[in-house]
Amino acid sequence: MFKSIKKKFGQYFTPKEVAEFMIDMADIYPTSKILEPSCGEGVFLDILQQKGYDNLRAFEIDEKLAKSFNCVRYESFISAKIDERFDLIIGNPPYIRWKNLEEELKQELLNDSTWNKYFNSLCDYLYIFIFKSIQLLNENGQLIFICPEYWMSTTHSISLRNYMLQNGYFEEIYHFNETPIFDKTTVSIIIFKFVKSNIKKERIKVTKYYSNKKLTKEILYGLKNQYPFDNAQFLNVQQFELNERWLLQTDEVRQELKALENNCIKKDQIFLSNLSSESKREIYTIGEFCDIGNGLVSGLDKVFQVKNNALNESEIKATINVVKARSLRPYIIDDVTKYIYIEEKLEEDVFRKKYPNFYTHFQKHKFELEKRYQYKKRINYWEWVFLRNLNLFKKKEERIFVPCKDRISNKKYFRFALVDKNIFPTQDVTAIFKKTNTKESIEYILAYLNSQFVFNWLRCNGIVKGNIIEFSEKPISSIPFRAIDWNNKDEIEIHNLISKTTRDYLVSQDKSLLDLLDKLFKNLLKT
């Protein structure tokens, strides 16, 4: 019963040491009016009372919680009529995706004028908690929340971000990447302090902590006072801007990413964007120049790898070459693995006679193979369960492979590798092909994807969960692409030199050629 309620209301209770840290961030007095919009078990209220703050208000939708506090109203913060204004609003608001909301919570939002004006079904329940909290602050009032960080960069949260910038500024942001703050969650978490004000400060104090260690008072104290220690980074950055993603990066990186996107503006959009700084710029993306597909799914990878060299002629023909994610490096691959692949539809007796060695092999794993998820189809145990994008992979041309997921915590590169025709990806790899009308060479695209510009862009704008970045079709498609102006001789020359240098590196693996590629892209992105 407790687990279902916790899931229903998006309840993740704040550890005491984190709540104390957040309260210490506030600039308040004993008489300050303080609100907690979703108090849960009451950890913030308890600490505030112990510190001598008695002018407290709180809301909680779950009547089983926070029973020892007289200041709690057991109703929804979203629908509640609140006439007061507050000096501090603090807490851990619920975060629930629309698709996971209970029907009663959906109906509450659909009946809410603020939700209908600013948000939609692509938005998170969290958004309206932030929005309404800002509405309830006094001038110079402070909002201190702990929540996931994804809303700072998603497209459908732009109305919330713009509203915040129009009504105040950020003073502090703490970013915890893969730090286990809440039980059984791996989402990246931020703690932010926002001040409602007509006067804006120019800079934000940003602290980033990359560690999977549990937070302690000592760690939090060190972060607050910016003591140098492992896995911590301290930045002082410009305030965010309207209509943009909020990136917790240095000013230099943010400017570099903006410059990259400016270089990728579609040619017919440059004049329009010059007319109005607020006009929405359309940029070229990889998805307009490349076809992208996630790899084939066997359902039990180890069983389909060819282990037996004693194969008959039919069995030799019924194999394919596969490159696994572990074999990918920037630009190149380490090795190729042979897989059993029987495309023809056979009866079991025919399969046994035509492929006797394969039959004996699969018999040993028949029970496991029949337990595979079969995508609502009836699949024979010797067959692959999902041949997605097979026609794309059969194209007789070179392709680029990248791992579907890659850890980026301790490296500054991704593993986009050029792979020969007739080599297939499995489910841990995504493949990229030139579209037929793309004039840029496959070598140019390969070098571009492996460039530091794209690495920084993906690190900030890609689908990143903890320190893992996803390379499925959609995030790859959205990468800005520096298309060549084929009417510009200088650009054509740089394109051809990048292509040649890439081909030379694929043969020699001379590291100095990578430095040359870096210089060539820097020149191209200045043109």
- Give the tens place of pLDDT for each residue, 296-342: 999 999 999 998 778 999 999 999 999 999 999 999 999 999 999 99
- Give the tens place of pLDDT for each residue, 362-388: 999 999 999 988 877 888 999 999 998
Q: Provide DSSP, 246-270.
A: ---S-HHHHHHHHHHHHHTB-HHHH
Query: Does 22 score more than 70 pLDDT?
Result: yes
**Is residue 176 a contact partner of residue 166, using CB atoms and an 8 Å limit?**
no
Q: What is the DSSP letter of 127?
A: H
More confident residue, 272 or 71: 71
**What's the CA gap between 127 and 161, in Å, rounded?**
9
> What's the predicted TM-score (pTM) here?
0.73
Share the mean pLDDT of the chain. 89
Which of 44-58, 153-167, 262-276, 467-481 has the lowest average pLDDT?
Answer: 262-276
**What's the CA gap between 247 and 239, in Å, rounded?**
10
Mapping DSSP onto H, E and C, the string for 378-438 reads: CCCCCCCCECCCHHHHCCCCCEEEEECEEECCCCCCCCCEEECCCEEEECCEEEEEECCCC
Q: How many other C-beta atoms lie within 10 A of the C-beta of residue 463?
A: 16
Terminal CA-to-CA distance of the chain, rounded, Å? Answer: 62
**What's the CA gap between 513 and 510, in Å, rounded?**
6
Element (H, E) at 293: strand 290-294
Listed in sequence order, the DSSP H helices in 239-339 are 251-263, 267-275, 301-304, 313-317
Least Cα distance to 387 among 297, 302, 325, 322 occurs for 297
Rounded (5°) CA angle 413-447-268: 115
Model pLDDT, residue 277: 42
**What's the CA gap between 100 and 104, in Å, rounded?**
12
Averaged pLDDT for residues 438-461: 93
